[in-house]
Structures are given as structure tokens and as C-alpha cells.
Amino acid sequence: MVISEMGDHGHEQVTYVTDDETGLKAIIAIHDTTLGPSLGGTRLRPYETEADALTDVLRLSEAMTYKAAAADLDLGGGKAVIIADPDDKSADLMRSYGQAVDWLGGRYITSVDMNTGVADMEIIAELTEHVVGREDGLGDPSPVTAEGVFSGIEACVEHRYDTGDLSDRHVVIQGIGKVGRGLVERLLDAGATVTVSDINDEKVNQYADEHGLEVVAPEVVYDEPCDIFAPCAIGGVLNDETIPRLECDIVAGGANNVLETRSHAATLKNRDILYAPDYVINAGGLITVATEAEGGSMGDAIRDANKIGDRLLQMFETAEDEDITVLEAAERYAEKRIQAGA
């Protein structure tokens, strides 16, 4: 089953790691190293089944290949998942995992992801040098991710409305985690009207009060009329049930794997909704850790994140010229870089 699924998606290597002493159960997936070593975060989740964990790590690592290539980075795509409850995370568990990363000899470079943070990267660094996102590095990449999403939204607005001015645009942001909050601040500074939504009522209401924002309930967020819908929470939110409900011209946000299936890119196109592919617009986090790996500064990362909008404009033009989805245009952009590096 594993080899078959690897073949279906073109993965080079999938490594299973266990350690009875620490309880470590992890899967590290390396999708493609044509452009350079694979880089991707380590996600820690209590997956219901091993099959669920495998599906997640395969999908995420493949997306990282395209994200790196589409961000003009000389890196490949990788990802890791640790099957565990976040409450059971320990320093010994992370050290054991760090040893596993080191065994791969630099083919995989890890960083922060869901339920892993800077402190965990410090522990992993005790066992391997193949880790970024540390305290003495560039730190939390979410501000750069938000900056890149903002750049992408500017490009979407320019393409759809022939102006990059956001002062009369209404943006609905789904999810006010670190990236969502950073995006709110950039949009408000640009004069946009912002409405927020989050599954945590207490958090979203407090945040909205502090910033003078309107709140829309999670169950009706897709029905809220706006210019731009910005999903910044979980993936798979755009599907057969939600897309017909959208009352927007543009979908552009920081969440990963926003489309439930690849075919939903065409569904959005058929509704004349401009879609910024998530792995293109939210590449700021990857840009940050890649910049750290190369010894660059936060200023370098922000500069490169602001180029995301320019790449999206190219992809929008390709999509229109060839009558394809923007997702297909993004894939062609990434695949062209990979083929050139082969």
C-alpha cells in the first residue's frame, strides 16, 4: 500500500520511525529533491489511524515541492508527521525524532508546523543540524506568511479590478490565528474593511472588539457578501457544499489545502471567482525558513515574500491566455522549474 501510494504521487522516500522508550511514532516523507534538499515542517497530531497520517504526510510533502518551486526556491518538498497527542509531547520524544531526522543525512530539513514550535526545534537541534525555525534563527515565520498573503491579495485585486487599491474592498477572514491576525493588521493599514470569523467565539469576539471589526459566525461565513474571502484556518473548506454559497469575487488566504479536491479549482473558475492557489500565496513561511537556512535576514525574507504577488500575476495571465485554471497555471510554473533543474 505505501509503495503504491508513493508511486501515485512521485515520492522518492518515505521513512517510518518508532521508539518504544519515548513512544515516538513518526513518518517522514520526501517527495522530490530535484531542486535541492527537501524542506518542510513537522506536524504533531493524534491521527485516528496510521493510514490517515500517511495520507496527510504524502499530500503535504507533495505540496511542499510545488510550494518551493513556485516560490523560486532551490529546495525540494518534504514533510513529517508525529502521531501523538500534543499533551503527550516531551523533550525526549523530540530528541528521538531529531535523531531520525539526522539519519536522513540532510535529505530532509525540518521546521515548525502544527503543534510544534521554536522550542521543539531547539530540542531537535541537539541531535541534528538539519533544522530551521530556531530561536537564534529568524523565529516565528507567521508574520512573513501574512505579508506574502497580503501581497497576493493586492495582486488579486489588481487583476480583478484593475487597481491595487484596497481602501474600498471588503475582506472576510476565516480564522484568526497568527497568520490571520497579521493579515488583518496589514489590510486595516491599507484601508480595507475586514470581517472576521473563528470557531472560538470568545477569542474572535475579544479580537473584534479590540480592532473594531464585525464578526460572522463560522456556519454562515461562506454566505457573507464580500470582495475577498480569505481562508486562514483549516484545509478542505472549499467544496461542493460551500463553493455555491460564496458571495465573493476572489478567494485568497493563508490556509493550506483550501480545496477539498483539485477539481474545485475548476468549480471556482466556472463561478468566475479568482482563486490564488494556497501553496503560492502562503509561501512566506517556507521563504522564511529557507532564508534562515541560507543565513539571510528577516528583511530578506519579507522582501522575497513581497514577490509572491508578482508571481501570481504571471499565473493569472497564463490561466487567461490558455483558458486553464490558476491552479493549473501554478503547477505549470512549478513543473517548469523542476524540469529545468532535472
Side chain identity, residue 341: G
Nearest residue to 168 (alpha-carbon basis) of 147, 150, 194: 194
The 10 Å CB-count burial string (b at 16+, else e) for 290-314 is bbbbeebebebbbebbbebbebbbe
| Measured torsion, CA atoms of residues 30, 334, 187, 116, in degrees rounded to the nearest 10 | 0
The pairing of beta strand 76-83 with beta strand 24-32: antiparallel
Q: How many CB atoms sit inside 10 A of residue 60's CB?
A: 24
Count of CB atoms situated within 10 Å of the CB of 106: 12
Map grid coordinates 543525512 to a residue: 105
Q: Considering 25, 67, 79, 269, which one is annotated as catalytic?
A: 79
Q: Pull the grid cell for residue 264.
A: 474545485
Known catalytic membership, residue 336: no
Based on the number of CB atoms within 10 Å of its own CB, is 1 exposed (0-12), middle (13-18) or buried (19 or more)? exposed
List the helix and strand counts (H, then E) for the chain: 13, 11
Q: Enumerate the active-site residues.
A: 79
